[in-house]
Structure 1
Amino acid sequence: MAGKALNKTNLTALGPEVLADLLLEAVKGDAARQRRVRMALAADDGPQTVAADVRKRFVAIRRAKGFLVRPAQKKLAQELTGIIEMIETRIAPTAPGLAYELLWTQLHLAEGIQERTDDSWGTIGETMHAAMEAIARIAPSLTLGPETLADQILEATVADGYGAFDGAIEALATAMGPDGLAALKEKASAACDAPITEADLAPYDYVRKADRENRARRARNATLERILQEVADLQGDVDGWMAKYSAEQLTYHTIAPDAATRLLKAGRAEEALVLIRKAIAAQRGDRHDSRELDDAHFACLSALGRKDDLRDALWARFEAQLCPDALRHHLKLLADSEDIEAAEAARAVVLAHPEMTRALWFCHVTQDLPLARHLIDARPTELDGDVYEVLAPLAEEMSPSHPLQAVLLWRALIDFSLTQQRKGRYGHAARHLQSCAEADTRIADYGPHPSHDVYQQALHEVHARKSSFWEAVAE
């Protein structure tokens, strides 16, 4: 039915009485929406009135014991998200301290909620993350003392079992300032050095006595060490940030790039280069594509002005991974008289690369269709029809200018789908066969490959019983 669009302008034109009737009808029987409307009405009475309603709702949530099934969990998450929005828009502008208090209280609800629901979808976690983001936006307006904030962060983070307070240090760094960060560092360090208590040992009664204290200390201090690392990072203390890791850990491809980046930022490029080269050496023989390691290596060489070494490193990455970005960067560093020769050498590397699919991916990304044609002509038996995400788009791109090579790509996809009986792909395979028929009119010579008619006849003979495929072809 035709009508006006459902937007704010058209709704406003209805007038307050009509809108009030519609709203009452919409919230009828929905307690969560009714609560939100009541809170919105209370906003006219000032932030304290809204805060009182929010606190009442938080108390009810904290006292609830029933298990939250998925629909109830989603509904609660939507309600909490609405409360965050209300706190930020109705309370924070005039009472940022009160808004912070309410958001911090909401984060403390996470543990109780998580214990009575399955949050494998991350619904509740995302809501709490939204609350922390709101705190970060409010933080510049807070007037709480640095020591108070440091105490609150330490207490909440150490007791946090569900990650609700992850990011609290960064979110409140502006409000804490240098004094607050220093206080938090001092408090966390003191907590790390404190004696192990009976409460710390209690969860490890099953561990033999000789190892119990070390086990309890490691568990207790893990969070404290993370706090110290985050504080060090915000203070620009690279050594403090790196102190959490052993020499071996600093060679891991997941850690070394971050460490090198921080050293570079601190003006310690030589140290960064030594660290990153140790990490690269440790990864030799590992088939993992160490993109982050290589990028950090390039950044170190660039910072040190080692242009020749940078060119060599970029070329090495291109040869190993057929990385288009590395090749482009390498070519930009060459003189005009050298880049053409280097580009030809790069094409030879692609043509000879042992992984056919990676070579075709390079052609697709760089849109070098003539190179793809040479590659397919030289190595047609190496086409892997299982790699749909590479072959299918490349075939479409090649069809106008290189129809025979496009057909060979489509045939590889069709053959794999039928031979491996991937019924979910039969519809795609049927479309690919139709594309082959369309391209056939533009192919004068199939060379050593069977013509379209011969190929289709062979499909009938080998796969005659795959009726769902042939039905899709006939559609």
Structure 2
Amino acid sequence: MSKKTLNKTNLTALGADALAELLLDVTKGNAAQQRRLRMELSASAGTADVAGDIRKRFATLRRSTGYVSWRKKGAFARELSDLIGLIRTSVAPDDPGEAFDLLWSFLQLAPSIYERCDDSSGTIGSVMSDAMEHVSGLAPMLTTDCRALAERVFEALQDNGYGEFDGAIPALAEALGSDGLARLKDLAQAVEAEPLSEADLARYDFVDDPEHQRELAQEARNRSACMILQAAADLEGDVDAYMARYSAKQLTFHTIAPDVAARLLAAGRANEALQIVEGALTQDRRTVFDTPELTQVRVECLDALDRGDSASEVLWEEFCQTLRVDCLRQYLRRLPDFEDIEAEDRAKSVALAHPDIMMALTFFLEWPDMRSAASLIEIRFAELDGNAYYILNPAAAALDGDYPLAATLARRALILDTLDNKRSKRYGHAATHLAECDASDGQINDYQTHLPHAKFLETLRYAHPRKSAFWSRV
């Protein structure tokens, strides 16, 4: 191996003095990296020093108000992650209690952090989840009074606007113990027993019906208490107490029913679990609130009741509607040898004829079956949604080489959608797609019923002669 290769062995050979000078030079002008170095120096000085410096950094983060742009968000998230890593490696081994306090303080920073950046990608949320995971790892080593810990958790859950403390109760279950859980339940039940205040009602003063106004206000006021009681019931294995937190109507929601049914099933109450699932299915079957989990738990209920044939029917019906790969795989696994081949061919015929061509294309890409994906595009080209670049881009890349006509048609759909709908921000991508179509032209011997590349280019110039921002890129 070359002595110039950047690896630990070669860098160590430079010596401590050379590396120190190099680090000072590399981090010059980079505040984040300089903070990291100072933290590492504190860590070498001892637990108390590094904990103190971490708290100082937390104080700075709490006071900061400047917006973190998307360009800087990655570096910001790495710094936050480094702080958690420092707590885990330099504080937790010697002082678990101090490490817990630091992680808890970090989670309390969530509102000020989220208010400073757009976390639609979930980058910051992942860091918060890591912090809670480390809290869970520390729980067995904590010596905090369980009732005091319960009160601390309860207080945090009252102001949990970004969900940073959602997993606190299961994470700290071992440290809370039965006494801590009992204290949490007492606090939550006390909240539910309190009469509604004028401020609670004022939040819903736009509601005309006084009774409905009270219902909404009570549900909002009791939301945290309800979560606490459900989490406690879960830890105690009390399915009935968990279910009792939901109204009969809520138990029909597709976001709630699978969760409740799964708990009943785990408790050996398959009949009741199936009733919950069927109650949810009485609602509109295909809604935006439908979840694959509902189908999965329904299948598990039927299997637990020795109704395997019915479970297979459910899987086939779900596949025919949604073309979900996991449903078809489960269905095929249940069939006797050799019958699965015929069933797979039947499933592909269903997909080829499915009214939603983008759903069908997604299925063939995931299965995978590139031949069928190509046939689908070639036969039903006019139905392609050119705005679905997240499907058509990977489809074109996967079809390149073996199926150049289908790849070209997928790219044409993207180009046409971009130009027809004046999506000027995508003109650069459209020009690239057109160049890719040109490159594939020599590989296509038969365009079938579709326009040859030269003719397609001619129609584009005729239809969009004034889109100079596009043509200048071609």
| Distance (whole Å) between structure 2 residues aligned to residue 155 and residue 134 of structure 1 | 20
Residue matched to 2:362: 361
| Distance (whole Å) between structure 1 residues aligned to residue 149 and residue 402 of structure 2 | 66
What are the Cα deviations for residues 144-181 of structure 1, in whole angstroms up to 9, with x where unaligned?
33333223322333355565533221221122234432
**Alpha carbons 1:383, 1:412 under 8 Å: kept:** yes
Tell me the amino acid that sits aligned with residue 98 of structure 1.
E
**Alpha carbons 2:255, 2:290 under 8 Å: kept:** no
Q: 1:296 to 1:3 in 2, by over 3 A?
A: same
| Distance (whole Å) between structure 1 residues aligned to residue 54 and residue 105 of structure 2 | 10
2:134 is paired with a residue whose SS is helix
**Alpha carbons 2:254, 2:289 under 8 Å: kept:** no
Tell me the amino acid that sits aligned with residue 184 of structure 1.
L
2:283 is paired with a residue whose SS is helix
1:282 is paired with a residue whose SS is coil
CA RMSD of aligned residues (A): 4.1
| Distance (whole Å) between structure 2 residues aligned to residue 126 and residue 342 of structure 1 | 41
Residue matched to 1:303: 304
Greater mean alpha carbon deviation, residues 235-244 or residues 344-353: 344-353
Residue matched to 2:137: 137
What are the Cα deviations for residues 274-317 of structure 1, in whole angstroms up to 9, with x where unaligned?
11121122133536653222122222222223111011111111
Q: 1:295 to 1:415 in 2, by over 3 A?
A: same
Aligned positions, number: 464
Q: 1:45 to 1:373 in 2, by over 3 A?
A: closer
How many Å apart are 1:131 and its aligned residue?
4.1
| Distance (whole Å) between structure 2 residues aligned to residue 374 and residue 77 of structure 1 | 45
Matches within 5 A, 1:6-45: 8-19=8-19
| Distance (whole Å) between structure 1 residues aligned to residue 99 and residue 341 of structure 2 | 62
- The alignment status of 1:172 with 2:172, answered yes or no, reads yes
**Alpha carbons 1:364, 1:390 under 8 Å: kept:** no
How many Å apart are 1:201 and its aligned residue?
4.8
| Distance (whole Å) between structure 2 residues aligned to residue 77 and residue 441 of structure 1 | 47
Match of 1:118 among 113, 116, 124: 116
The structure that has the greater radius of gyration is 1
Gaps of 5+ in 2: none
Matches within 5 A, 1:45-444: 46-48=46-48, 50-51=50-51, 67-70=65-68, 83-108=83-108, 113=112, 118-121=116-119, 129-158=129-158, 163-193=163-193, 195-196=194-195, 201=198, 218-284=219-285, 286=287, 290-336=291-337, 338-376=339-377, 378-444=379-445
1:414 is paired with a residue whose SS is helix
Q: 1:425 to 1:26 in 2, by over 3 A?
A: closer
Q: 1:359 to 1:239 in 2, by over 3 A?
A: same
Q: 1:128 to 1:61 in 2, by over 3 A?
A: farther
Q: 1:317 to 1:173 in 2, by over 3 A?
A: same
How many Å apart are 1:404 and its aligned residue?
4.1
Q: 1:408 to 1:192 in 2, by over 3 A?
A: closer
Q: 1:38 to 1:287 in 2, by over 3 A?
A: closer
| Distance (whole Å) between structure 2 residues aligned to residue 110 and residue 372 of structure 1 | 45
TM-score normalized by the length of structure 2 = 0.79
**Alpha carbons 1:196, 1:216 under 8 Å: kept:** no
What are the Cα deviations for residues 36-61 of structure 1, in whole angstroms up to 9, with x where unaligned?
76665565665455556666776x65
| Distance (whole Å) between structure 1 residues aligned to residue 26 and residue 399 of structure 2 | 55
**Alpha carbons 2:239, 2:263 under 8 Å: kept:** yes
**Alpha carbons 1:427, 1:472 under 8 Å: kept:** yes
TM-score normalized by the length of structure 1 = 0.79
Report % sequence identity.
Answer: 45
Residue matched to 1:463: 464
**Alpha carbons 2:378, 2:409 under 8 Å: kept:** no
How many Å apart are 1:320 and its aligned residue?
0.9
Q: 1:307 to 1:207 in 2, by over 3 A?
A: closer
How many Å apart are 1:408 and its aligned residue?
3.7
| Distance (whole Å) between structure 1 residues aligned to residue 391 and residue 124 of structure 2 | 37
| Distance (whole Å) between structure 2 residues aligned to residue 438 and residue 376 of structure 1 | 19
| Distance (whole Å) between structure 2 residues aligned to residue 261 and residue 404 of structure 1 | 47
| Distance (whole Å) between structure 1 residues aligned to residue 365 and residue 443 of structure 2 | 22
Tell me the amino acid that sits aligned with residue 279 of structure 1.
A
What are the Cα deviations for residues 186-242 of structure 1, in whole angstroms up to 9, with x where unaligned?
34334433x459xx656767888x889887765543212211111111222222222
Q: 1:420 to 1:54 in 2, by over 3 A?
A: closer
Greater mean alpha carbon deviation, residues 398-407 or residues 317-326: 398-407
How many Å apart are 1:319 and its aligned residue?
1.2
